[in-house]
Chains A and B, each alone.
Chain A
């Protein structure tokens, strides 16, 4: 039996039902993509899984302890002007074991450095969050969830505003985490990213959820270009640009 299951779940926002009769289980040690149009209820479902939204009916059966659930919101939700360095951010991931008071010991700093090396941000350890690019920030935030040793990881559009190289690093780390047994749920819009990352897909539409395999989904989309344009784009020749 998987650690995270939905049982006839009904969710509402502001008195309006957003999702109903949602059933199914998220595979352990796998990446599940959550897809759907804007307003289909992706964020609502994530809030419910995180225990921040009470279901109207049914339930979310989650066997992962709260401290091992990590949630990576879209970057806009964070106050990135706050004076904090990358290393300090990653160290806050020790909260489950350290809480508000316990001091960090050398072993934890060492682990923090390992995580930064794995994410390719060692050289940014003492840089302030406000000075980072979108991709660097996303690496740092994923670093915090690694520190947290998350067993359930929810990510809301983690690859938005992120450079290609970072996407590769993040995907690799997420795949590793899944291989080590974590349950990972990612809100995605890009079919190409979905094909590279997802083992399973939960598609939300019209207030209902449908579980599909990535292969079936991609087959329906064969021939269609991914929604987001991808670099390298071809630019017009300078001579043409001058006359245009």
Chain B
């Protein structure tokens, strides 16, 4: 039994590429879910998706100029992601349209432009790689970059945490205190873009957002406190990324989709069985008599 467990869980990590993929997955799992929790709480769950498309043209341009170099592609991704965020923000301010409609327009343009650029410069294999990534192909340089970006995100998030919380609840209070809410919002969106660029090597531009949002939406079924949400989301992301890697190793499945599907399975299970708002709770709920102790 132990031998079987070892063969399943430990032995795969004898390989260097699996070790690097494991660490990359853990690093991303630490940085992405807290951002996802805030996106979800701000009612911006789909903005992550939009931003993941927005980084594509920059990644593609980096790829055209420098070939498959993660630092250059990441830089391109960050720049184009920020550009789209700023453009969408200014267009919505100028026209008075809601920001999500401007964002939707820009991310569709970005997606098309990115796919066009990659196709012009490379083969369909390259396109697949950029769109869907490959965590098993992470080399030491990429790993360092991913770890550095993840650390930067965690530290920055810790610094702006209180401002971010206050801004989510009551933006006017923060403005009254002389802090420009737009600044906090901008820093936060910047972190989202950074995280997506760190994630695209491992999961691809399209699926990087999965490790951000799915653990966050899953956590909603298990906790009602902010710290709880973040903790649960990080734990789910870590289990999903490690479990997904092992699944992809043993069953010869593509790694990115395995990780995200595992997180997706956690979401569905939680929706059925979770502690809060799940189907199980709904079915079991009976009105407690007055004076009964609270169920928390």
Contacts and interface: CB of A to CB of B under 8 A. Distances in A.
Interface in B145-182: 159-163, 165-166, 168-170, 172-179
Contacts of A52: 172, 175
B272 interface: no
Contact of A92 (B159, B172, B173, B179): B173
Given A100-B160, A101-B162, A128-B224, A82 B176 contact: no
Given A83-B225, A100-B159, A67 B168 contact: no
Contacts of A96: 177
A70 B168 CA distance: 18
Contacts, number: 60
A100 B163 contact: yes
A125 B142 CA distance: 46
A67 B169 contact: no
A83 B162 contact: no
Interface majority SS on A: helix, strand, loop or mixed? mixed
Given A83-B225, A84-B169, A92 B176 contact: no
A78 interface: yes
Given A83-B41, A100-B159, A100-B160, A78 B170 contact: yes
Contact of B169 (A69, A70, A78, A95): A78
B212 interface: no
B221 to A, nearest CB: 13
B168 to A, nearest CB: 5
Interface residues of A, number: 25
A81 B168 CA distance: 10
Contacts of A83: 41, 224-226, 229
A89 B169 contact: yes
Interface in A70-102: 70-71, 73, 77-79, 81-85, 89, 92, 95-96, 100-101
Most B CB contacts (10 A, CB to CB) among A50, A81, A84, A96 go to: A84
A66 interface: yes
B165 A66 contact: no
Contacts of B165: 82, 84, 92
Contact of A70 (B41, B176, B178, B226): B176
B226 A84 contact: yes
B159 A79 contact: no
A71 B224 contact: no
Given A83-B41, A83-B229, A92-B166, A77 B159 contact: no
Contacts of B177: 66-67, 95-96
Nearest to B168: A82
Contacts of A79: 168-170
A68 B159 CA distance: 24
A190 B165 CA distance: 34
Contacts of B174: 95
Contact of B162 (A81, A89, A100): A100
Interface in A188-216: none
B214 to A, nearest CB: 19
A238 B226 CA distance: 48
Interface of B: 41, 159-163, 165-166, 168-170, 172-179, 224-226, 229
27 contacts: A50-B176, A66-B177, A66-B178, A70-B176, A71-B176, A73-B170, A79-B169, A82-B41, A82-B165, A82-B168, A82-B169, A83-B224, A83-B226, A83-B229, A85-B225, A92-B165, A92-B166, A92-B169, A95-B166, A95-B174, A100-B160, A100-B163, A101-B159, A101-B162, A128-B224, A129-B169, A144-B173
